[in-house]
Amino acid sequence: MEYKQATTAQGTLLGEVREDVAIFRGVPYAQPPVGALRWRGPQPALPWKGVRPALTFPACPVQTTPPVPEHPMARHFMSEDCLYLNVWAPADADPAHPCPVLVWFYGGALQAGTSDDPITDGEAYAKMGVILVTVNYRVGFFGFFVHPDMKGEDPNGWAGNFGYRDQAAALAWIQENIAAFGGDPNRVTVSGQSAGSGSCCALMVAPSAKGLFHGAICHSGDIFQPERDTPLADAEAWGVELAEAFGCKRLDELRSIPFPAFYREGDPMRRIGRVCATVIDGGFLPGPLGERMLSGEAMRIPVIIGTNFDEGSRWAAEPYIRAVTERLGLPDGLYAMDKGLDGYATELARDYWYARHLAWAKIRSGDFGLPTWQYVFSRRLTEAGAFHGMEMPYTFQTLDAEPWYGRRLPYGEADYALSRLMSRYWANFVKTGNPNGEGLPEWTAKAPGVGHMRFDAESSMREDVTRPADAVVGPATERWMRTRMTPKA
């Protein structure tokens, strides 16, 4: 085995070289958030002496074990000591000509995920001259729990959102250290899928993350669902209720409980029927995320925005239909009832998901004049269609990897060609802030009258209305989002 060293501000790392790619696994970017550091903001990584091996992936963050034993996550070792990242870089990276950097945040509804998903292996990007960094961040109970004691402990008066704060800490570490791997700290693009994409959006509106990255690629995830923003007072009340369920009154008492004890009955928050996720704490996140984005308070950076043709994410059918229909003022009977309420809700969720991303692309390009490229991934190989997350192995050139969603799909040569196409667009965007390049079909930036790039066996620009219902749901969603725009004084 061939090795390579990289010297960071904390010390020297030993990585592996494989097929001209230098791989550094399990690199600490913060101190382990254990003991007294549980439920505190990430603290700077400590230095070490000698050469530290960076040859194995870290433990994944503590999370509820997937119910399916065959799921890859069920085989992972979990630990609170999880704040590590992984780096794939060209082995011959020249410091005089540093490489651009793509930072990946996994999805999982802010409740699950790991930085060593084989789908997000960075070898293909490194061979295209892009350094890929995948980041572990705290999720669920350990990543987003809130208790009233937190604000008094935190030097900034912040509470919760530890997962987002981990991501910002990783980006700060990259700014300080990526040059050691041949990377350019002035060309950093963040990306993620689902909650990872939503994380990119949250960081775009978080004041403390300003300047830590310069572009974003957002796969199927946004911050325009206000029901997912938890007010601080509510989160604190839930924290008190949960602490009492474990016989505790103070946060320090909760810190003394070993983490397996919290998970004996599944996710701890299920005891009180709540979920730990985004908290509008008035500090790290000063206000509702969607409003901040729509009011021009986000970073003014180039962005790729996209969804899949057959997305679908909803809660119980009847309440979901009622909530979205009333919010948007949609007419009754927009979809046929031949598939029942569940089928109706699934179709509505699919179109509402697409409509939010479409409206965001129109507003940021038209109202704010920001470079924006929109896509729809439409490759359909099974009855599930182009489902949530299906595009990921295409963008990483990892179609042969073991997927989190079960067995590999029946890929053919057209799929490998599509994978090469999409990953080249992504690499170009990371390098230049524009996905276009020699030999690629022209992907026109969003503008009035300009549609989106449709990725399929044959990829090309298409009109924005993909289904008849889009002609109703799309304009209604844009009107609703515009009511949330409050220009800065």
Active site members:
194, 311, 388
What is the secondary structure of 405-454 as a DSSP string?
TSSPP---HHHHHHHHHHHHHHHHHHHHS----TTS---PPP-TT--EEE
Neighbours of 76 (CB within 10 A): 18
Chain centre to alpha carbon of residue 422: 18
Using CA atoms, how far apart are residues 188 and 101, in angstroms rounded to an integer?
Answer: 5
Using CA atoms, how far apart are residues 319 and 266, in angstroms rounded to an integer?
Answer: 25
Which residue in 211, 227, 355 sits closest to 290, CA to CA? 227
Which residue in 356, 412, 407 sits closest to 380, CA to CA? 412
Alpha-helical segments (H) within 154-282: 162-177, 195-205, 232-245, 251-255, 259-262
Q: Which DSSP helix (H) or strand (E) runs through 179? A: none
β-bridge partners, 188: 101
Contacts of 177 (CB under 8 A, 6+ apart): 8, 9, 10
On whether the CB atoms of residues 29 and 84 are closer than 8 A, the answer is yes
